């Protein structure tokens, strides 16, 4: 694997982080070589056993201290996020909300999730056994992150792994590593925590070195990179959990509350300038309300304010695209749609200055256009008129991705029925992106959107553990019936017992010959 970055910057001893809104250099960090990553991994491994020995309650104490420190430094951390991502100040704040929720959820519930599980033995022959499942963390978990939520992404995954008792080696995106690097410094230098959280900064090659240094890998990013990581994990025979791209569909049925659906579409499609894996990327509206929906959507999108507003100002709704490459991808999708007959009712061309793409509503779209097939990851809402729910669901499922989706209707039974037809890891009814922020629920993608579940519920901790099957004898017998030596008498009586206890009809239970 070679060093590369999304905007083509070359590998070197350090790399610059640029603000996409104005091109200013927001910071500079080391592009760590594989040998440095290996050394960092060794330090983390050395600290891990003591961390595990603290037990869940001891570990939760440090997570709470960390959360306090994050909140005490909130404004400074968010300024870093804004300087490296070009987000609006309002969008920036969401990152901390995630931190509070996830850290509290796993610190509070971690001990219960990690407790040994007692299980009832199956079948009378095992009644003398005591069965338990024990959870033992992978010593070192690697985590590689994308650029769209510089704090939100790591803070969805890291708390669960730390609660599990693992040491964690993180690798933030080279596009937005500044805020996360500071949060990891907070863990190591400000709250007296054991040194079990590391941060490897660098380009793609640094990420590849992380995969080579750890016992389990959690990756969030593009499907293209995810496949490479899955292949390398298979070669190393380590488990991987992959959270990849999406193309989430919104299905608006004729009985929906149109105003709420329009509000949800604007937020779900344009939040963070559309740079969310779970963003609404395409909309299917039943014919009777299509005109009303499109007219209200267009009016609402025209009211959005775009820019990187000053800290604390809340004067802009959505901000910049993170990189020139991402902006060009959005341009390509919109240009392709327009060339094939679509119309842009708002936006449709990049802004004159900075990496901004104006929020864009596209109509007269169809599945021959890349904007309906490939992940756009930008502020575009292509809307398609459909005859009925059958056509809507057929088109919604006509995608290589399967991350999330939403259904908008006043009929709860219809919503329930159609949700089961959605081939996605999550479905929200009358809301956008909602399933991801309900922490007891598993979050994960189907099809090309990923493997495994990223976080949510007990799995958000247990996925970082190996399961140990534990069996103990309740009664100490001198021997077991299946132990040596074999004998005709003993084996025959075992066969009889197996039939008597295991069969469902008396003829077989008693070992009688089958009727001819």
Question: What residues line the site for ligand NAD (CB under 6 A)?
Answer: 1, 6, 144-148, 153, 171, 173-174, 203-204, 207-208, 211, 220-222, 225, 228-229, 243-246, 277, 375, 377, 403, 445, 450, 454
Least Cβ distance, residue 169 to ligand NAD (angstroms)? 12
What residues are labeled active site? 243, 277
Kind of pairing between the strands at 25-30 and 117-119: unpaired
Q: In angstroms, rounded to a whole number, what is the distance separating the alpha carbons of residues 102 and 455? A: 9
Task: Pick between residue 165 and residue 382 the one whose CB is nearest to ligand NAD.
Answer: 382
Burial class (CB within 10 angstroms; exposed 0-12, middle 13-18, buried 19+) of 284: buried
Other residues' Cβ atoms within 10 Å of the Cβ of residue 75 = 12
Task: Pick between residue 184 and residue 294 the one whose CB is nearest to ligand NAD.
Answer: 184
334 alpha-carbon distance from chain centroid: 27
Least Cβ distance, residue 6 to ligand NAD (angstroms)? 5
Q: In angstroms, rounded to a whole number, what is the distance separating the alpha carbons of residues 349 and 340? A: 16
Sequence-separated (6 or more) residues with CB below 8 Å from residue 17: 25, 26, 27, 28, 29, 84, 174, 175, 176, 177, 178
Kind of pairing between the strands at 197-199 and 428-429: unpaired
Q: Is 171 helix (H, G, I), strand (E, B) or coil?
A: strand
Phi-psi region of 365 (alpha: psi -120 to 50; beta: other; left: phi over 0): beta
Backbone Cα Rg of the chain: 27
Least Cβ distance, residue 16 to ligand NAD (angstroms)? 15
Q: Are 429 and 406 in contact (CB under 8 A)?
A: yes
Q: ∠ CA(30), CA(35), CA(37), 5° rounding? A: 60
Task: Pick between residue 51 and residue 219 the one whose CB is nearest to ligand NAD.
Answer: 219
Task: Pick between residue 139 and residue 450 the one whose CB is nearest to ligand NAD.
Answer: 450
Least Cβ distance, residue 44 to ligand NAD (angstroms)? 18
Least Cβ distance, residue 359 to ligand NAD (angstroms)? 19
Q: In angstroms, rounded to a whole number, what is the distance separating the alpha carbons of residues 460 and 441? A: 10
Kind of pairing between the strands at 405-408 and 248-252: parallel
Tell me which residue has its CB nearest to ligand NAD. Answer: 207
Task: Pick between residue 256 and residue 279 the one whose CB is nearest to ligand NAD.
Answer: 279
Task: Pick between residue 150 and residue 347 the one whose CB is nearest to ligand NAD.
Answer: 150
Task: Pick between residue 144 and residue 363 the one whose CB is nearest to ligand NAD.
Answer: 144
Least Cβ distance, residue 87 to ligand NAD (angstroms)? 14
* Closest listed residue to residue 98, CA positions, set 171, 156, 172: 156
Least Cβ distance, residue 148 to ligand NAD (angstroms)? 5
């Amino acid at each position: 694997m070679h060093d590369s970055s999304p905007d083509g910057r070359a590998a070197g001893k350090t790399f610059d982080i640029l603000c996409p809104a104005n091109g200013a250099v927001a910071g500079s960090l080391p592009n760590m070589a594989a040998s440095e990553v290996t050394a960092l991994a060794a330090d983390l491994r050395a600290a891990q056993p003591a961390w595990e020995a603290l037990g869940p309650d001891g570990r939760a104490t440090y997570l709470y201290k960390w959360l306090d420190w994050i909140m005490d430094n909130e404004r400074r951390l968010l300024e870093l996020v804004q300087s490296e991502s070009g987000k609006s100040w309002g969008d920036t704040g969401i990152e901390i909300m995630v931190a509070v929720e996830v850290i509290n959820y796993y610190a509070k519930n971690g001990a219960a999730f990690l407790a040994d599980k007692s299980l009832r033995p199956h079948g009378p022959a095992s009644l003398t056994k005591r069965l338990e499942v024990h959870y033992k963390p992978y010593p070192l978990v690697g985590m590689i992150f994308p650029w769209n939520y510089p704090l939100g992404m790591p803070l969805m995954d890291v708390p669960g792994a730390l609660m599990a008792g693992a040491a964690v080696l993180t690798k933030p995106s080279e596009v937005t590593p500044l805020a996360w690097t500071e949060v990891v410094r907070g863990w190591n230098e400000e709250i007296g925590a054991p040194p079990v959280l590391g941060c490897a900064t660098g380009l793609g090659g640094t990420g590849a070195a992380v995969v080579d240094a750890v016992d389990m890998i959690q990756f969030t990013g593009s499907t293209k990179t995810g496949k490479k990581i899955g292949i390398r994990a298979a070669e190393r025979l380590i488990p991987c959990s992959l959270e990849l791209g999406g193309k989430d569909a919104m299905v608006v049925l004729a009985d929906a509350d149109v105003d709420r659906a329009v509000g949800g579409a604007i937020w779900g499609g344009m939040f963070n300038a559309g740079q969310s894996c779970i963003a609404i990327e395409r909309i299917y509206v039943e014919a009777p309300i299509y005109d009303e929906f499109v007219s209200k959507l267009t009016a609402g999108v025209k009211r959005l304010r775009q820019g990187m507003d000053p800290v604390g100002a809340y004067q802009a709704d959505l901000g910049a695209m993170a990189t020139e490459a991402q902006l060009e991808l959005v341009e390509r999708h919109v240009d392709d749609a327009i060339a094939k007959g679509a119309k842009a009712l708002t936006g449709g061309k990049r802004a004159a200055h900075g990496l901004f793409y104006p929020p864009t509503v596209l109509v007269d779209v169809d599945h021959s256009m890349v904007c309906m097939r490939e992940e756009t990851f930008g502020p575009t809402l292509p809307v398609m008129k459909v005859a009925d729910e059958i056509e809507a669901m057929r088109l919604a499922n006509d995608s290589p991705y399967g991350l999330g989706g939403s259904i908008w209707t006043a009929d709860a039974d219809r919503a329930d029925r159609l949700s089961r037809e959605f081939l996605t890891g999550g479905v929200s009814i009358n809301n956008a992106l909602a399933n991801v922020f309900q922490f007891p629920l598993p979050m994960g993608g189907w099809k090309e959107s990923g493997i495994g579940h990223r976080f949510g519920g007990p799995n958000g901790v247990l996925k970082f553990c190996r399961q140990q099957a534990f069996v103990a004898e309740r009664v100490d017998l001198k021997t077991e019936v299946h132990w040596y030596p074999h004998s005709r008498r003993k084996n025959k009586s075992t066969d009889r017992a197996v039939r008597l206890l295991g069969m469902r009809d008396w003829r077989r239970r008693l070992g009688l010959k089958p009727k001819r």
